[in-house]
Amino acid sequence: MKMISGYQNKNILVLGLAKSGTATAMLLHKLGAKVIVNDLKPLEENPQAKMLQEHGIEVVCGGHPLSIFDEKIEVVFKNPGIPYSNPILIRATELNIPILTEVELAYEVSEAPFIGITGSNGKTTTTTLIFEMLQQDNKNPLIAGNIGTVAVEVAQQAKQENIIVTELSSFQLMGISKFQPKISVLLNLFEAHLDFHGTMLEYAQAKGKISENQTADDYVVYNYDDMYCKEMIKSSNATLIPFSTKDICENGAYLLNDSLYFQDEEIIPIKDIVLPGKHNIENILAAIAVCKLYSVKNEAIRKVLATFTGVKHRLQYVSTVQERRFYNDSKATNILATQKALSAFEEPVILLAGGLDRGNEFDELIPYLKNVKTLITFGQTAEKLEKAGMEAGIPNIERVANVEKAVQTAMGKSTKGDVILLSPACASWDQYKTFEERGDIFINAVHMLK
């Protein structure tokens, strides 16, 4: 780890705890900063705040008092999920105080280069594929972000010979200043998180920040088939590496005659890939492009793709019960993710969907419901999904209380050869703390059927 001096004796506010805030506060304390932590949860219910207090770090819990700025705060590190409408952040903006996220600090202290992956869908799968391929070829990767240890913890352990592979959300990227990945990856972009960002333009600008500090010595791997990605890379100074399932990209990765290629070299026939879903071909092409830039051997890439069956909660095969196959796609928190999941199957599907109502309708889902024989809904969006199901002509539509009941109902409505798919098209927060909790309940309910 680089023991940087830029934060020494500075008043640094860490806003919001959870994993990233706690790790950020501890690292800043180690770097000699005068750290103040502010978290909404009261101190008596906040073990992380108590732990920081025991290390001599000042904590202010139970609210967001503007009096915290009496300390003459010089930098704010925010938890990525806290909106900029938070009164502390509004005041910091008024005072022209930099507002950063932990990935910025991770970059500053890391001895290892970063590969940063972002997009509306496919981040976790692509990040995991890249990590597995690099590891298979002994390139010493480390994995960080939403699917592993937070980046500031990984960066402290990283050496020059490592490569940090990290999944990056738009929330994290809004808070970067110097962050410069050796390779950035833009998978796709469509309307998502507009309740946070406000407009599609702001969302695209946040995603595009992943490449803003890159130079010609760096690379941006981008989806040539996605109009937003093509627009976003126009301002990048990095060397452009496209991937496409529709066109031959001589300088990148592409699909041709049922095989995947990189720069005119055949890497693997599609028939040898076990990961289901046409949408995953895009993720695989992105991973191949990144790994070939790091000179990973084709044999290592093929070995991973011949065995990799997916990431938990991302179109994850769970089990077969009485000749019905169950898939957990709880990470499908938006319409595009569910569209892609439905496109992965030709068999009759029983779809389990529903969750947090963000104000959108589900008309865009209708063309993808042609193989759905039964729709089982739950959560705040049940009625809206049922409306889309009726317009799609789904013969059987039922509403249940929760995911557990949905599994039981789906089993009763199914016949041999059916796919029973949890792909909610919505966030989980109306009924469950996380999409992981929702997916785990689904998995447990499937196993209970046995």
Burial of 353 per CB tally in 10 Å (0-12, 13-18, 19+): buried
Find out whether 58 and 36 touch, Cβ atoms under 8 Å.
yes
Report CA 178 to chain centroid distance, whole Å: 21
Question: Which two tokens mark 50?
Answer: 């108590």
Q: In a 3-state reduction of DSSP, which class is residue 63?
A: coil
Helix, strand, coil distribution of the chain in percent, nearest 5: 40, 20, 40
Say whether 125 counts as a known binding-site residue. yes
Say whether 119 counts as a known binding-site residue. yes
Say whether 148 counts as a known binding-site residue. no
Of 99, 67, 64, 104, the closest CA to residue 84 belongs to: 99
Say whether 223 counts as a known binding-site residue. no
Q: In a 3-state reduction of DSSP, which class is residue 160?
A: coil
User: Which helix (H) or strand (E) is 134 found in, with range?
Assistant: helix 123-136
**Could you give the CA distance from residue 172 to residue 192 in angstroms, rounded to a whole number?**
15
E strand residue ranges, 96-246: 99-100, 114-118, 141-144, 163-167, 183-186, 219-223, 239-244
For CA atoms 442, 446, 447, 448, the dihedral sign is: positive
> Which residue matches tokens 């690292």?
27
Q: Look up residue 311 and give its DSSP letter.
A: B
What length is written for the chain?
A: 450
Find out whether 345 and 421 touch, Cβ atoms under 8 Å.
yes
Question: Which two tokens mark 331?
Answer: 């990470």
Say whether 123 counts as a known binding-site residue. yes
Q: DSSP secondary structure string, 3-31?
A: ---TTTT-EEEEE--HHHHHHHHHHHHHT
Q: Indicate the angle between helix axes 298-305 and 123-136, nearest 10 degrees.
A: 130
Strands 183-186 and 219-223: parallel
Of 315, 284, 312, the closest CA to residue 133 belongs to: 284
For residue 312, list its beta bridge partners. none
Binding-site entries for ATP: 119-125
Binding-site entries: 119-125
